[in-house]
Amino acid sequence: MRFIRPVEEILADGPEWQDRPDREHIAPDRWGKSHWALLSLIDERVVRWHGLIDWDHVQVSRKHWPMIYAARRRTQYGFTESKDGAEYGLRLKPDSENDRPVLLADHCEVDALMDLVDADLVTLQMPKVSASGQSYLRPDGHALSDPSPSDMITGHTEWLLMPWAKFGFTELGWTVAAALRRHKGDGGVYARFEMPMEAQK
């Protein structure tokens, strides 16, 4: 018979998102197309999909974020990308001298996602435990069969749960997402979006 840990105990030492220690943190004043397009994608996922990211629509580095990369459906049928996601780099704000985007090498869009979290625009919540304590829950409330809350939380457990994290917006994030939506609706491009004045700290 499998031992089920008390829910209170599970919640007390719940799984945590594992950021990669060697990513370069990019401040909002340097964000360009990569960050703003990703914020727009998150807006759609928050409103329509309970905050669950479809990792097939995000450039993911197999090298830096292996378990998130493994969660991509396209990799489960023998199809692989020609490049690691980090090889595309991140397009930052265009250089003022030549008006060309600055490319941040060896970073992928999951790194940009962490910048959005760092800037207090996006929230991140690891899967919750069901009321029975027998399973972790996806953002849409469906149970995950693996891993189990009855097991000890390890780094590997956290990696398995990370693709099922729930993303949302802070109040500041909602303000910026609305401004970005209007900017795009008015014919603007992601690379030219600027953080609205009311959102600047």
Please state the pTM of the whole predicted model: 0.84
The DSSP H or E segment spanning 94 is strand 90-94
Nearest to 46 by CA among 116, 139, 151: 139
- The confidence score (pLDDT) of residue 118 equals 95
* pLDDT at residue 133, rounded to an integer: 83
What spatial distance separates the first Cα and last Cα of the chain, rounded to whole Å? 54
Q: What is the pLDDT of residue 1?
A: 43
Q: Domain spans of the chain?
A: 7-195
3-state secondary structure of 137: strand
Provide the pLDDT for residue 54. 93
Question: What are the Cα distances from residue 10, in Å, to 3, 78, 145, 164, 194?
Answer: 13, 36, 16, 17, 42
Q: Which two tokens stand for residue 23?
A: 């990513």
pLDDT of 154: 74
Q: What is the pLDDT along the chain (201 residues), one digit of tens a residue?
A: 444 545 555 445 678 888 888 889 999 999 999 999 999 999 999 999 999 999 999 999 999 998 898 888 765 445 555 578 888 899 999 877 777 888 899 999 999 999 999 999 999 999 998 888 888 888 988 898 888 887 777 778 888 889 999 999 999 999 999 999 999 999 998 988 988 876 666
Whole-angstrom CA distances from 55 to 31, 38, 179 are 21, 11, 25
CA distance 59 to 110: 7
